[in-house]
Amino acid sequence: MWRFLKAVRTREHRVAPTTWVAAIAAVVYTFAPIDLIPELLLGPLGFADDAGVWTIFAVLFAREHSRWRAGLTPR
């Protein structure tokens, strides 16, 4: 995975814009004071929306990693 992150950092692999948007949205939504399901009122159930946003990002990240691996040539 570190090679993948290095490929993204050095612009060897272009990441789809939707993945960037999901990453930014996950970070902003996690730290924003506005929540669809507030933790203070619903307790642990309130983390479901946060987990959902991070799950969407994780799926898109895995897709990008697969795209990168498919483009590698064997050594």
CB atoms within 10 A of CB 68: 18
Domain total in the chain = 1
pTM, two decimal places: 0.76
Residues 6+ apart with CB under 8 A from 54: 26, 30
pLDDT along the chain (75 residues), means of 10: 90 91 89 75 79 91 92 60
| Domain span including residue 7 | 2-71
For residue 39, the model assigns a pLDDT of 74
